Copies of this chain bind each other. A is one copy, B any other.
Amino acid sequence: MKIPFNKPYMTGKEAHYMYDAVHTGKISGNGKYTKKCQKYLKELFGFGKCLLTTSCTDALEMAAILIDIKPGDEVIMPSYTFVSTSNAFILRGAKIIFADSRKDHPGMDEDSLEDLITERTKAIVPVHYAGVACHMDKIMDLADRYNLFVIEDAAQAIDSYYTGRNGIKKALGSIGHLAAFSFHETKNIISGEGGMLAINDLHFAERAEIIWEKGTNRSAFFRGEVDKYGWVDIGSSFLPSDIIAAFLYAQVENIENIQCKRKELWNNYNNSFCGILDKVNKVQLPFVPEYASNNAHMYYLICSNAREREKLIDHLKTDGILAVFHYLSLHKSKFYEDKYEGEKLEVSESYSDYLVRLPLFYELTEMEQDKIIKSVLEFYNTYSIEEDNTHSLRRKVYK
């Protein structure tokens, strides 16, 4: 494959910081670079408090422990999401209530949520798909009215924003009571695996630190707030090695540069396709609502049917380009299908079948991107939905 779907990017200072971490004599969790990353990101995006974690999954698990999920509690989230959004709450005994996606965007349909709320509902987990904001005013209103927690799954949403009806623009992950970020290698800012919990409701701050430090009050001890530290709660080892934080710090320092490049690439795709694919070929292009910003996490196309997507992916592969689909709707998974009692989630299922993501990474060259754009346009120039529909599955559909 000549053009991969993703390639992790190093800014050049990662190894330097890692060595520095080692020379401080502390590379376990909550070291110098962990504190630097947490402070930098908190100040840059206005989070209440930040704790780095080993993954976004772990940040979500911390959130589930913090809101005290008990067996039988219900948690509402989109079906079109990664398994960890669900698993984190299932591990604490929750029942997952899946919401459908919006027709204009893979994010969950905010207007469908109220009907899913019952007396057992404890939380709503909006997933900001592709880094594009859910309608947070609608969600926070519901949470207020029904006394629910909102945990933003902001895995893809670093450096993205939501402008509320009051006109105030806030960073995603700073709005819900808690929010989880990912620094997985496929994200804008990376550490291989890695994540962060943002704590905006500061009632959770003290306990979050305890749960993060394996259920001990070690952090308070090192601040001199308690005489000795010990076991005070449940918890896990959610904190990453400071080597990971050192790597991450080289990335967060460069966030402006990284984002600038990614947005340029995203706009190149969109400018090349807009007016052609959407108008002529009925391909749905990414939609960014007026209240949302675009952090250029992902560029995707939504085909008209599954065969079209398969052929597009094959066509790109022939040209040495790896394009990939995304989530299988969780309510249809092997694990959950027989547990699922809700309605058919047609829109979510359509994104599972029709959405395809194009390569988008810092080191994607102009020549490579031109090749991808050309290959996509060439495919649609020769592909006909009508003709495809009249042929059998085995027949070639190129003109």
Contact = CB atoms under 8 A, between A and B. Distances in A.
Contacts of A28: 184-186, 192-193
Interface in A226-267: 228, 230-237, 239-244, 247
A348 interface: no
B247 A214 contact: no
Interface string A325-343: 0001010011110000000
B83 A214 contact: yes
A231 B336 contact: yes
A177 to B, nearest CB: 22
**Which bracket fits the contact residues of A?**
35 or more
Contacts of A61: 236
Contact of A334 (B19, B58, B232, B241): B232
A224 interface: no
A36 to B, nearest CB: 15
B83 A241 contact: no
A191 interface: yes
Interface stretch (A84-92, A296-304, A305-313): A84-92
Interface of A: 4, 6-8, 10, 14-15, 18-19, 21-22, 25-29, 31, 54-58, 61, 82-84, 86-88, 90-91, 184-186, 190-194, 214-216, 228, 230-237, 239-244, 247, 328, 330, 333-336
9 shortest A-B CB distances, which residue pairs? A192-B241, A27-B192, A57-B237, A55-B237, A231-B333, A193-B241, A54-B54, A28-B185, A15-B15
